Structure 1
Amino acid sequence: MLTIDPLISLLLIVDFQSRLMPAIDQGAAAVKNARRLIDMADLVGIPTIFTEQNAKGLGATVAELPTDKARLIHKMTFDAARAPEFLETVPADRHVVVAGCEAHVCVQQTVLGLLNARRKVYVARDALGSRRTEDKETAIRRMERHGAEIVTTEMVVFEWLETAEHPRFREAIALIK
């Protein structure tokens, strides 16, 4: 299947942390789109995993992104796939939709780790952040070159819906307007 299958999807939110976000170029837009993905995943029953990199130093996940309904994994490795329990939470058959910061560090290394572990990965480019645009764009190209699908938040929403007859269609459309 070439589209994102909502029946086997998982949303991964990487390191949107309070002390990091003020330095992120267009960080508010990345947070807004990550929130849309979280709300959509909640709407259609897709599990969400958050990671926090060195939370003592970088703070907790920003308040705009609720972690209360999700699994939260603390890590010190940039690549979450190297964190002890991480890959156990991402079954091999899952379509993993990824959003996060920084695109060229933790997001990229985690995506490459997931690809190396034979997971299917979709990177939501409009829900990524880096301090510099050049770093973000270079990371996107590298992740794509290694097999990640590059998508947008709206693409994910419509692929998770699959049809205009979905019972949550109107609620989902309200998320992207």
Structure 2
Amino acid sequence: MPLLSAAQSTLVIVDFQARLMPAIHDGARILANARRLADAAGMLSVPILMTEQNPAGLGNTVAELSGAGPVIAKMSFDACAESAFLDALAGDGDLVLCGCETHVCLGQSALSLLEHKRRVVVVQDAVGSRLPESKDVALRRMECHGAEIVTTEMVLFEWLRSATHPRFREVLKLVKQDGL
């Protein structure tokens, strides 16, 4: 099924870490969109899984996302190299990815998840890299290998499906916040 379903999705938040974010191009906007995704996921009972790359070196998850979901610490750029990550994503649901860096940890994780025959949906306005061209090339590469590239707003409205959804007005407030 092409449309995302809240009941069949997991939000994967990759490496939004304190020491990394100041170096990310357009980091504040990307982080705001990740927060919107996490807030909507909470409202719509979408599970969230987070990763931290070398937390001793890059710090923990930024305060804006801290506590949004369980965290898998990793040293490998590819989160799939951590058995706890794959165990936490057991099943065949859709994986909605946001995070940093698009061309390193997020990209390697997405490509590996595709090799594991998972549906990977990358939220282009909620992923970042230090350099815009690194992000652009990574998005094209992931798309060539089968990842779907979407926006935050697309995810939110597909999770809702209808203006009659009981949480519609709450999610709509997230859409109307500055920066989306």
**TM-score of the superposed pair, with normalisation by structure 1:** 0.98
| Unaligned residue ranges in structure 1 (runs of 5+) | none
Alignment correspondent of 2:92: 93
The whole-number CA distance in structure 1 between the counterparts of 2:126 and 2:63 is 16
The SS at the match of 1:104 is coil
Paired positions, count: 176
Equivalent residue letter for 1:55 = P
Alignment correspondent of 2:173: 174
Q: What do residues 93-136 of structure 1 show as CA deviations (whole Å, max 9, x unaligned)?
A: 11100000000000000000110111101000000110000000
Give me the identity figure in percent: 54
Alignment correspondent of 1:113: 112
* 1:164 matches 2:160: no
Shift in Å at residue 91 of structure 1? 2.3
Q: CA RMSD in A?
A: 0.7
The SS at the match of 1:86 is helix
The 5 A counterparts of 1:16-55 are 16-55=16-55
Alignment correspondent of 2:149: 150
Which segments of structure 1 move beyond 6 Å, counting only runs of 4 or more? Answer: none
Equivalent residue letter for 1:8 = Q
The whole-number CA distance in structure 1 between the counterparts of 2:4 and 2:147 is 12
The SS at the match of 2:84 is coil
The whole-number CA distance in structure 1 between the counterparts of 2:66 and 2:60 is 11
**TM-score of the superposed pair, with normalisation by structure 2:** 0.96
Mean Cα deviation higher: 41-50 or 87-96: 87-96
| Unaligned residue ranges in structure 2 (runs of 5+) | none
